Amino acid sequence: MSLPEDTTSLVRYRAAASTLWLLLLLVWESLAPAIHAFRSRGDRGRHALRNLLLGGINAALTGLVFVALWSWTSAWAAGNGIGLLHVVSLPPPLRWCAAILLFDLWTYLWHRAGHRLPHLWGFHRVHHSDASMDVTTANRFHAVEILISSVLRIPLIALLGLHMPEVVLYETLLQFVVQFQHANIRLPAPMEALLRLVVVTPGLHRVHHSRWQPETDSNFSSLLTVWDRLFGTFRVREDETGLRLGLDGFDDERQQRFAGLWRMPFLRPGPPTSDEAARSRAPGPPSG
Residue 236 lies in a domain: yes
CA 199, 202, 208 angle in degrees (round to 5)?
A: 90
Exposure string of 7-26, with b = 16+ CB inside 10 Å and e = fewer, is: beebbeebeeebeebbeebb
pTM comes to 0.89
Residue 162 lies in a domain: yes
Enclosing domain of residue 200: 5-28+40-270
Q: What whole-number distance in Å separates Cα of residue 46 and Cα of residue 51?
A: 9
Q: What whole-number distance in Å separates Cα of residue 234 and Cα of residue 211?
A: 17
Q: What whole-number distance in Å separates Cα of residue 206 and Cα of residue 35?
A: 11
Number of domains present in the structure of the chain: 1
CB 183 within 8 A of CB 100: no
The residue type found at 33 is P
Q: What whole-number distance in Å separates Cα of residue 98 and Cα of residue 183?
A: 28
Residue 281 lies in a domain: no
| Alpha-carbon torsion (58, 43, 205, 195), positive or negative | negative
Residue 279 lies in a domain: no
Residue 284 lies in a domain: no
Taking only the tens of pLDDT, the chain with its 288 residues reads 555 656 667 677 778 888 899 999 999 999 999 998 887 888 999 999 999 999 999 999 998 899 999 999 999 999 999 999 999 989 999 999 999 999 999 999 999 999 999 999 999 999 999 999 999 999 999 999 999 999 999 999 999 999 999 999 999 999 999 999 999 999 999 999 999 999 999 999 999 999 999 999 999 999 999 999 999 999 999 888 889 999 999 999 899 999 999 999 998 775 554 444 444 434 455 443
Q: What are the residue ranges of helices labelled H in 183-273?
A: 189-195, 202-208, 213-216, 226-231, 253-256, 258-263
| Alpha-carbon torsion (233, 236, 240, 242), positive or negative | negative
Q: How far is CA 114 from CA 82, 107, 142, 173, in A?
A: 28, 10, 12, 21
Structure confidence at residue 1 (pLDDT): 55
Structure confidence at residue 267 (pLDDT): 80
Residue 229 lies in a domain: yes
Residue 153 lies in a domain: yes
Residue 60 lies in a domain: yes
